[in-house]
Structure 1
Amino acid sequence: MQRKARIIFHLDMNSFYASVEQAHDPSLKGKAIAVAGDPKQRRGILVTCSYEARAKGVYTTMSVWEAKRKCPELILLPPNFERYRAASKAMFDILRSYTPLVEPVSIDEGYMDVSDVEMGQDAVAFAESIQQRIIRELDLPSSIGIAPNKFLAKTASNMKKPMGITVLRKREVAEKLWPLPVIEMHGVGESTSKKFEEFGINTIGDLANAAPGLLKEKLGKVGIRLSERANGIDNRGVDPESVFDTKSVGNSTTLPYDVTDVDEIEKVLRLLSIKVAARLESKNLAGRSITIHIRDANWKNKTRSKTVTNRLFEEKEIFQLATTLFHATWKDEPIRLLGVTVNNVYDKGESVEQLSIFNFEEHAKEEPILKLVEQLQTKFGKDTIKRGIKVKKKPSLESKTSFSKDFLDDHEKK
């Protein structure tokens, strides 16, 4: 029996936050608008902007003052997180009405596996019917990529915006993708593209045809995986549950002014560590490594990471590690932004902590309690008493990641 070909859709909402604002207030339609943070707090960066604003040279991540200089009539709006979450939930509810195989990736994009859906029409017409339904019911534009795998579907959805529908077949990869600069490939950032350039990889085609041994030597497994993507190979399935897989917990903050004072910097690192620890605690998580992120006054970014032996979740240890990493990285330049992230997180209830000279005393104090628990269990049964139970904590503001990730709460099965 011949295996049925996979058909994957990647749906990407167009200028999502700006489009939600225009749907909420129709008087904003056709106008140059942007959603931005508070300029007074130096968070005056555009989160998104409408296509009318883009036509005037305005783009996402541009500073507010520069955007207003390019487009004096630009209408600035503060972010309305709950409004965006409600729109996102409604959009994903529409997608799930066609198939349960929907994988949210972020608040405004997701994958659908429609291989087994009875479309009653070809894939392009089916995608157009979904696109038009979202417009009709939510008044929000989107672009859809159609391909045999997730990587190509994601790539296709970026090819035509707004309101685009693009098919990208594996046999078209050499013609359509290989001539492009490698940095334009999904999954390749500025840092990785610079590494590629160092050993002669400038285009996606160069990456696709590079020797596997060279890629593994220079970039490890990541290099091999990116090479497969450049050849149109991606065997990942659409996983509705992957939205709940937390891989890291972090916080960052843009400072009100450029800071060089060590005491001020360490105060910020402590506050960030407290927030990260609180969020780990609220989710009952611990991590295996920590990363700090530094952005200087010239917008140059630096990161440094460290892997730890024992589980990492306490504020004190997070702060100590973050401070050590900072001083090993910082070269006295003025700091604009700081971030602290605990990576490779997992459920604390599933971990086993390694004893060391630093925590042995703490465990030794618990020994009499453990013996008492064991005695009671032997006498009255194992379920009579347990050392501890996992209590589902009420989410707090500290437990949130960012407003673009809070949407995960809306996908929990009630």
Structure 2
Amino acid sequence: MSAVPLRNNKAALSDARTVTVLGATGSIGDSTMDLLRGARDRYQVEALTANSNVEALARLAKEFDVRFAAIADPARLGELKDALAGTNIECGAGESAIIEAAARPADWVMAAVSGAAGLKPALAAVDRGAAVALANKECLVCAGDFFMQRAAKAGACILPADSEHNALFQALSSGNREELVRVIITASGGPFRTWTPADIEQATLEQALKHPNWSMGQKITIDSASMMNKGLEVIEASYLFALSADEIDVLVHPQSIIHGMVEFSDRSVVAQLGAPDMRIPIAHCLGWPDRIVGPSARLDLAKIGQLTFEAPDFERFPGLRLAYEALRTGRGATTVFNAANEVAVAAFIAGKIKFGSIARLVEATINDWIRAGNLAPLSSADDAISVDHNARNRAASLLPQIALKAS
């Protein structure tokens, strides 16, 4: 059962909306706060959180007159208290404070805390039946079945905030589940779309960070260059919309104007289009089931001129192949896929491995994990976090071997 509403339910959310933003100082949080800034009459901000940026968190907390602010780094609590001195804003620090922020009574929660650390706060919002705009991949990649079951049980509404999943969410409302043939997630192809395998192998950090369309954080930009991000999105789509791997296709679309498509049994294909601006899908989640006025540029297709498409190359971008394999394997394999990729990307950023070794480390970690007989269903957040932690350790132990082979 999916907790994603495939047809709009006007009774699902209240008209007067209070919101909480988990990860308010990151790129998704920044876009969310920009939208809230333009619609102050419609929203009251209950709580904000940040990882370690006390100055930015305190500034936002005072600007939006929030009730509660939390910093993930417990060593920064004193700084946060000093920064909020003279206000009535409550504050806290550490994991428990981030979870408290999510558990506070807001109608709508943006879950944008990155990494496995975002799982428990998102579940705290889910368990009280909130509308959760999900921008944290790990909630689904690491614990998809468990997460969506909890959401369905609590009556929580999961709103996809990623551009591709939000596009599918919108397009899916054109038909019923039994009429669905497949969904199509589009990919820009990243900066290495036309590169040879040899050149991709030797790509530098600077080259990997030059995304042609999107302005994103360092980790996700590198994932886009390797197409690991598209693999993660395939896994997310499977859990979000209760789809099999065979019902999800990827199509390279360099212009990043069509973000997702859905094919129905009558062979109609419904697509969602928009400029490559994260404020568009976030605005859709923020206003749902209605729409709000957004600040993004209007789409001018005449100016763009043409939209082109290509099949993805699984040989040059093996990360996408590995994601499908992990999804079909199940039983924690997608958790291992994500954990190993995070270790690999960090190693690439640190100059310890070549770009082409990212996928090799992920594949080696998954294969090693399977050979050791570690696959098992995940039934709790602690299960997912444990697998994530152990898979990171396994990837780290394999790192020197992978680096040596590529040298």
TM (norm. structure 1) is: 0.26
Q: Looking at CA atoms only, which structure, 1 or 2, has the larger radius of gyration? A: 1
TM (norm. structure 2) is: 0.26
Compare the two structures and name the one with the higher helix fraction.
Answer: 2
